[in-house]
Amino acid sequence: MIDRYSPEKIYMQIAKAIESDLQEGFEAGDLYLSEKTLTEKFGVNRHTVRRSIEELVKQGVLEKRHGFGTFVAEKRLAYRIKGHQRLTEAVEANGLSVETTVLSKSTILARGSIAENLQLKNGEEVIQVNTLRKIDNKELALISHFLPKAFCPEVLESYESGSLGSFLINVYGIKAKRISSLVSSAMPNASDNFQLGMMGSQPILKVKTLNKDDVSGKIIEYSVSRFRSDMIQLEILINPEQP
């Protein structure tokens, strides 16, 4: 299996052999073989096996979870961040099913960053909606939506599931347009870790987004999304002409 006379480095040969192995008997999310097992299988030292695994982790084929082992990586959803595309559209464009669960809805008073982003005065009423997005029945993201209550009060009573963007179009004729997204990495708290079905110390991608009404130009939504970083990749467009 390993050609020690080949000009190709041994760790790369092993990496390719592991890839072939994965295609035949493993699925995304499966626990893969231990370093000890691979060392015995290929007749090499543990350092060489680790280089092979590191190469496949870098390629997004495998995923290491501290304290748990090496897993077959999930295929990452390609999500293009642009003006009018919503997460639901990106999921469906990848041929996947999407499910939105409303975890909670409440009225809060605008304070701090929420008031600033929604361009409201402190104390004005804001609707907060917390949702969980799943793709193909697997947890992808937790999203906290903040909307001016005076602008769309029906959200609190009538929005139950599905795309919030579609709800705003159907009820108010509002087509939300993204005007900014701030992307950062963060460590999840215990609640996010549990609700996203994550193990160990895996980071999340946090995306803070501002949406405006495409007609009036008013800010209608500020959202904070927490994505599983092993399930999504974000493409950020810099062409201002792109819709």
The 10s digit of each residue's pLDDT in 8-65 is 999 999 999 998 888 888 888 889 999 999 999 999 999 999 999 999 988 778 988 8
The total number of structural domains in the chain stands at 2
Asked which of 25, 52, 72 is the last residue of a domain, the reply is: 72
Same domain, residue pair 65 and 184: no
Query: What is the structure's pLDDT at 239?
Result: 57
Q: What is the pLDDT of residues 132-175, one digit of tens each?
A: 999 888 899 999 999 999 989 999 999 998 889 889 989 988 88
181 shares a domain with 115: yes
Report the phi/psi class of residue 49: left, alpha or beta, with left for phi > 0 and alpha for psi in -120 to 50: alpha
The domain of 49 spans: 10-72
Instruction: Give yes or no: residues 40 and 84 share one domain.
Output: no
- My answer on whether 139 and 25 are in the same domain is no
Report residue 236's pLDDT band, with 50, 70 and 90 as the boundaries. Answer: confident
SS3 state of residue 83: coil
Tell me how far apart the terminal alpha carbons of the chain are, to the nearest angstrom: 51
130 and 35 inside one domain: no
Q: Does any domain span residue 161? A: yes
Render the burial of 2-16: b for 16+ CB within 10 Å, e for the rest.
eeeeeeeebbebbbe
Tokens of 179: 């005007």
Choose one of 25, 40, 72: the last residue of a domain.
Answer: 72
As a whole number, mean pLDDT of residues 97-114 equals 94
Both tokens of 34, joined, read 């231990």
Structure tokens at 243: 């819709």
3-state DSSP call for residue 113?
Answer: helix
83/63 same-domain check: no
